[in-house]
Structure 1
């Protein structure tokens, strides 16, 4: 069975992906309702990564808080 796009992190770049995984986020589903300000404090998670995460969540009717 193929993983759905909710089961993986969006393509945010290696530093951001590492920081997200280190913070306990291993899938887009786990980012739903995460605190935007908290994510922005993670290494590598800048405006572009946040935009990509928000766009991916929006495709599924989900959002950051």
Structure 2
């Protein structure tokens, strides 16, 4: 049985429906999406997860293993190829 979606309102007053306790507002996510850089290539949940963990550069990302990154709420296996490609463009890789 699917969880019931509840009306939520963010600090800026945007209204949205979510079934989870995730407090990420879709409208704010679109407004805050970077125009360039590796974070701009990721989905909002993945981007928010990295930012929440203080990972805002490829150098910081390279200090984590795939296993560690996949434990962050909001990041799934589909985000890894994008992250790997961005790292490789800068001569970096995820920690082994």
TM-score interval, smaller chain: 0.7 to 0.9
Q: CA deviation at 1:9?
A: 2.3
- Cα RMSD of the aligned pairs, angstroms, is 1.8
Equivalent runs, 1:24-63 vs 2, <5 Å: 24-63=54-93
Structure number having the greater helix percentage: 1
Bigger mean CA deviation after superposition, 40-49 or 8-17: 8-17
2:81 aligned with 1:18? no
Structure number having the greater strand percentage: 2
The structure having more radius of gyration, on CA atoms, is: 2
Q: Which has the higher contact order (CA 8 A, sep 6+)?
A: 1
Distance in 1 between residues matched to 2:75 and 2:66, nearest whole Å:
10
- Mark the runs of 5 or more structure 1 residues left unpaired by the alignment: none
Runs of 4 or more, structure 1, over 6 Å off, are none
Calculate the TM-score normalised by the size of structure 1.
0.76
Distance in 2 between residues matched to 1:26 and 1:33, nearest whole Å:
12
Q: CA deviation at 1:29?
A: 2.4
